[in-house]
Chain A
């Protein structure tokens, strides 16, 4: 048989590992440590008939990815959340319920789904899918990318308010926002197009050199996953601290998908409005807007992030005003 020399040949590397190890162990331990002179007892795996006793080979666990219908459900949830966002902001003009939606979206898309998949990151996959003939993306990713853009085309950036997890986590930390000077705001706003360009540039590289910058430098995904590279967690923390004083800095100045939404929102048919026939020119709404989206007493759709703060600050609109009219109605007096 030619098996014997082979086994001898195999024993050599084994001896090469074991001997120094045994020597090392012997040197460290005073107790008589003795290693087993290990020899592989079988050449082939014994099968059930050799094992006997009615033995059955157990199945190997193969945990499957998320079911397809659940992935579709994520897209449906995204569409539904945007629908609710539009309804709450444009129809109900209600910030309280929008906050509830924001927290819900943060919990589901952020912490439960761990920030994946998101329209922002899917931008790269869409770009690669369009550019590389050998790359293609699942339909759910395509839908995730295009739905918020289509909504923005009709109603403005409804995705940004109350739906996007990255936006939601920043929305909740806005504490004492300062008004960023208009010029600085505009200049910083250009950064997102630079980032968009870079992300596209790195994504369309040939397969091995390809890089997904948006995902790699996502500042908040580390929080959603409760783990991450220390430098990215620190950057995320810095964004949140900065976000207490400058409203949603990532959304306004860096988000590449925000850049696309901005352009779609320019063409929007409807959006947040400061109703001309009711207004007092008091400017409370402009002061309340942390995102500088109210210019000359008009909401600017490309900047408006659908937070509904302007309504809740308005003395003649939103919850406060509704409460007032309700009070007047209940007291039986005619409304002024």
Chain B
């Protein structure tokens, strides 16, 4: 307290300047090596629901249960250009359910009824089995439980449905809660442009 006020001011100024310079330096360093956005994405070659050779009866639903946002940021996406557009889709129907009068399985597979089916192209009403069908997933309804993903792959399907991340919902946690829970380390961080590419399941090894 006995210090000369002007000297105190000067010391304060020097200290403030030093800290400010240090902060500025650190910020400059970080800005210099800054990149675009890095986001989480599902590595579909690791995800047990889409990985080839996995035919477990129950799909893994950790993406639904572990995500920190209320309706999981993970949902199933049908890459339409890869879809077989089958009459009896193993991801749309529960193909182990009883057959109804139309010759279709009587139950749907999706527990949230998020998949819509409609005939497309040149429709022959006499021959429904040989028409093509479009399967559109309502991504607002889907919670990423993975049931359809597990069915739409060899040997039953073509593997057009995979789990992907909705970036309007994902809060991009530092440590994604699903990634911590996933037993196959299927959640990876990628630059945004890579993460938006269509999913491609690569054969392991």
A binding-site residues for B, Cβ under 8 Å: 10-11, 13-14, 16-18, 21-22, 25, 29, 31-36, 38, 40-42, 44-47, 51-53, 55, 57-58, 60-66, 114, 116, 121, 124-126, 129-130, 136-139, 142-143, 145-146, 149-150, 153-154, 210-212, 215-216, 225-228, 264, 267, 269
Contacts and interface: CB of A to CB of B under 8 A. Distances in A.
Interface in B60-85: 68-70, 77-85
Q: Which of B20, B39, B70, B170 counts the most A-chain CB atoms under 10 A from its CB?
A: B20
Contacts of B120: 51, 53, 55
Given A17-B57, A138-B35, A138-B36, 14 more contacts: A35-B98, A46-B84, A52-B122, A53-B123, A62-B196, A63-B169, A65-B167, A65-B170, A139-B31, A143-B27, A210-B175, A215-B173, A225-B70, A227-B69
Interface in B83-138: 83-88, 90, 93, 95-99, 105, 120-123, 132, 134, 136
A42 B158 contact: yes
Contact of B57 (A21, A40, A226): A21
Interface residues of B, number: 70
Contacts of A47: 81
A60 B31 contact: no
Interface string B48-59: 000000010100
Contacts of B98: 29, 31-35
B155 interface: yes
Contact of A137 (B30, B83, B173, B192): B30
8 contacts: A11-B155, A38-B95, A40-B84, A46-B84, A55-B121, A57-B80, A58-B134, A210-B175
Interface in B17-36: 19-20, 23-24, 26-27, 29-31, 33-36
B135 to A, nearest CB: 10
B68 A45 contact: no
Interface of B: 12, 15-16, 19-20, 23-24, 26-27, 29-31, 33-37, 39, 55, 57, 68-70, 77-88, 90, 93, 95-99, 105, 120-123, 132, 134, 136, 139, 154-158, 160, 166-175, 192, 196, 198
A137 B33 CA distance: 8
Main SS class of interface, B: loop
Contact of B96 (A21, A136, A149): A21
B43 to A, nearest CB: 15
A185 to B, nearest CB: 23
A42 B84 contact: yes
A61 B136 CA distance: 10
Contact of A45 (B15, B69, B82): B82
Contact of B97 (A33, A62, A136, A225): A33
A40 B20 contact: no
Closest 7 CB pairs of A and B: A10-B155, A51-B121, A63-B168, A212-B174, A65-B167, A53-B121, A33-B98
A72 B97 CA distance: 52
A45 B123 contact: no
